[in-house]
Structure 1
Amino acid sequence: MTNATPTAALSAAGVSIWLDDLSRARLVTGSLQKLIDEKNVVGVTTNPSIFEAAITKSDDYKAELASYSAAGVNAEDAVFEITTADVAAGCDLFAPIAAATKGVDGRVSIEVDPRKAWDTDGTIAEAKRLYAKVEKKNVYIKIPATLEGLEAITATLAEGISVNVTLIFSLDRYRAVMNAFLNGLEQALANGHNLADIHSVASFFVSRVDLEIDKRLDALGTAEATALKGQAGLANARLAYEAFEGVFSSERWALLADAGALPQRPLWASTGVKNPDYPDTMYVTGLAAPNVVNTMPEKTLDATFDHGVVTGDTITGTYAASNALLNQLEGLGISYNDVVNLLETEGLDKFVASWKDLLNHVQEALDAAVTEA
């Protein structure tokens, strides 16, 4: 593959391009395969909001829901069956890429019920249930990086199940996630699992950081504050990559690598710009470096393919400036810890709300099918 397009150049720079979307239509119409063939997409992520949109805003699932209604299936079980079926089909589509990359790419993620984000044992049980149902080696089970989720991440990896850790906003929490990953691999090795078969990514959210910090900068209203807008998201992610480099060059990691383990790659999530005044590819071209994933909504993928300017590694060498930027924000009274804690709470609340909306809509569809019958 040549570097004739920006997405090809991005891939050559070490960035795995994943699509942040999945639906039945993408699978059956060939649109997802087209993105693989033409725009260098090598994986897919999903979340409750994506499934809520896919199932409730199309008629693609109407016949399936009618059959579940006739069989007396409840909304939760119907959602479980539909989402795992779509993810399994997605895994089949990406299987050749998974084989070619030895499981590094060609991945499709499915998230545990977000209502279990604060329930360690419930998350572990749900992760095992999803993994058993999808029954594909290239599936990722997504677990939110709550404090309760850290132990679940370790336990799931220890069972030999690959994990996408999601909703990471803070550097401290990211370090805790990497520690949970190492703990999980150490336990998996003790349990007799082949570490080469266990993969993980850590989803570090980007644009929402700017959205929240920009609000606070606007409230200050000074020229100094205005000059700092739109920079915190990139700075935060770049410092996460510095932390990644540190952990995965440690002696502790070297022992696991010698046993066949592969590093937990950073995954840049929430990479669509929220402010239309900003360049629409800033969270893509500004976060290029080896061994990372960027999962994009299709709008951002299209923008990158159309006019993204890829200049190689845009992270290494930025750490001092990134630290200085966060220190400047603190100096203006914008608390980093307050921002990231708020974003985690809001992110989880959004996913729980989407999940509840999905269940309500599916229940309405099941009830309607009974009436029509």
Structure 2
Amino acid sequence: MTTPTQLLSDAGVSIWLDDLSRERLSSGSLQRLIDEKNVVGVTTNPSIFHAAITAGHYYDAKVAEMAAQGASLEAAIFEITTTDVADACDLFAPVAAATNGVDGRVSIEVDPRLAWDTAGTIAEAKHLHGKVGKDNVHIKIPATVEGLQAITAVLAEGISVNVTLIFSLERYRAVINAFQSGLEQARDNGHDLSRIHSVASFFVSRVDTEIDKRLDKIGTEEARALKGKAGVANARLAYQVHEELFSTERWAVLADAGALPQRPLWASTGVKDPAYPDTLYVTELAAPGVVNTMPEKTLDATFEHGVVTGDTITGTYDEARETLNALEALGVSYNDVVALLESEGLEKFVASWKELLADVEGALAGARKTA
């Protein structure tokens, strides 16, 4: 029987798992997702690493090893996270080989405290890339204003990039410009463009969470009718932007030089409101050449009962635009929402990173006492 995840793959969607841990790697559960549920990549973030490292005892040996070496807190976290990512890259190496590096990618994010520091982000990206040392790693850089320059500079070095925390269509246009500028510089620097890969992570469910809250406050029947529609509409319009900006003469020149387009990646695809279908941000955002990175709960729901009907994005742009216009007419400011979501997203990642620092610091201290 053809599974829904296979149908999704057949529709041109690359399924990536939004999770990674030593437990997944050592237990074989990640390999099973590759074998059984069409998973062809992995994304991580500070919250994922915090959850992984503080759950169970899978990192005790590594922490003890780092403590015995007298490693600093920062060095210990760097070693632990890059080891997981490097091992995951090895696991996905056959997928990367089979897809010429398009899939089989594993993403690791720069320290989120550097989100407003262009030079710091560039240095950290190079450091991460060198430490992981795998062709199929993606370095995640937030799409802040300061991050845009870093994205260009890192791509210019021939390093593949996952641009994260994109919420607005305007910022997405700037991200694509930063990507194409980076490839132009990489070409001038003598890099093989066909070996540079990138995705642009456009966040979905958080848009609905914030806008639905505002619609509830308005409380009218018209407002309630728009609940749960903004996230999908925003992402569909992002796909339209992608189609537009990868159909230009500027892009054609890069493509002729071997460049591959930066793919849209749907992130934050776990449904937050139980009133909505648990596969909403998967089945309604299927189109050729996109990535959907899912938490395991969403992946399982899709595998078990997702109704995949092929391309559900192309041809929906007028309707999507009408949805955003209707929200504006009710007083829900798109610009205000996306600015708030970027700020909150960065704050959450910084908070998770600080919690991780505190927890690993405690673990290192404990390991030194028992050594």
What is the TM-score of this pair, normalised by structure 2? 0.99
The residue that corresponds to 2:322 in the other structure is 324
Instruction: Give the match for residue 192 of structure 2.
Output: 194
* Deviation for aligned residue 1:179: 0.2
Amino acid at match of 1:90: A
Residues 137-174 of structure 1, C-alpha deviations (whole Å, 9 max, x = no match): 00000000000000000000000000000000000000
- Which of 235, 251, 254 aligns to 2:252? It is 254
Task: Tell me which residue corresponds to 1:59.
Answer: 57
Q: Which amino acid letter does the alignment assign opposite residue 195 of structure 1? A: L
Unaligned runs of 5+ in 2: none
Q: Secondary structure at the match of 1:229?
A: coil
The CA distance in 1 between the partners of 2:185 and 2:86, in whole Å, is: 27
Query: In 2, Cα distance between the equivalents of 1:22 and 1:347?
Result: 20
Q: Pick from 265, 268, 272: which aligns with 1:267?
A: 265
Q: Whole-Å Cα distance in 1 between the matches of residues 58 and 107 of structure 2?
A: 21
1:338 counterpart SS class: helix
3-state SS of the aligned residue for 1:46? coil
Q: Deviations over 1:257-295 (max 9, x none)?
A: 000000000000000000011000000000000000000
Question: CA separation in 2, counterparts of 1:194 and 1:66?
Answer: 41
Corresponding letter in the other structure for 2:194:
A
TM alignment of 1:1-373, pairs within 5 A:
4-373=2-371
Classify the secondary structure of the residue corresponding to 2:92. Answer: helix
Q: Matched residue of 2:319: which SS?
A: helix
Aligned partner of residue 167 in structure 1, secondary structure: strand
Quote the Cα distance in structure 2 between the aligned partners of 1:71 and 1:96. Answer: 34
Query: Which amino acid letter does the alignment assign opposite residue 44 of structure 1?
Result: V
Q: Partner of 1:142: helix, strand, or coil?
A: strand
Deviation at 1:47, TM superposition (A): 0.2
What are the superposed Cα offsets for residues 230-265 of structure 1, whole Å, 9 maximum, x if unpaired? 000000000000000001111100000000000000
Identity of aligned residues (%): 75
SS at match of 1:235: helix
Q: Which ranges of structure 1 fall in alignment gaps of 5 or more residues?
A: none
- Give the whole-Å Cα distance in 2 for the aligned partners of 1:68 and 1:196: 38
* SS of 1:344 mapped into structure 2: helix
CA distance in 1, matches of 2:66, 2:85: 19
Return structure 1 stretches of 4+ with deviation > 6 angstroms. none
AA aligned to 1:351 is F
Structure 2 letter corresponding to 1:298: E
What CA distance in whole angstroms lies between the structure 2 residues aligned with 1:50 and 1:211? 20
Q: Distance in 1 between matches of 2:64 and 2:21?
A: 18
**TM-aligned CA deviation for residue 68 of structure 1:** 1.2
Q: How far apart are the structure 2 equivalents of 1:333 and 1:164?
A: 33
Output the CA distance in 1 between the equivalents of 2:225 and 2:62.
Answer: 53
Question: In structure 2, how many angstroms separate the alpha carbons of the residues matched to 1:369 and 1:106?
Answer: 35
Distance 1:268 1:360 in 2: 31
Q: Shift of the alpha carbon at 1:371?
A: 1.9
SS in 2 for 1:234: helix
Query: How far apart in 2 are the matches of 1:370 and 1:77?
Result: 16
CA distance in 2, matches of 1:202, 1:58: 33
Q: Which amino acid aligns with 2:147?
A: G
Please give the alpha-carbon distance, in whole angstroms, between the structure 2 residues aligned to 1:71 and 1:84.
17
Q: Distance in 2 between matches of 1:150 and 1:370?
A: 41
The whole-number CA distance in structure 1 between the counterparts of 2:79 and 2:68 is 15
Deviations 1:18-73 (A, max 9, x none): 00000001111110000000000000000000000000112101111112112211
SS of 1:164's equivalent? strand
Paired letter, 2:107: S
Distance in 2 separating the partners of 1:71 and 1:9? 49
Aligned pairs, how many?
Answer: 371
Q: What is the rounded CA distance, in whole Å, between the counterparts of 2:117 and 2:65 in structure 1?
A: 32
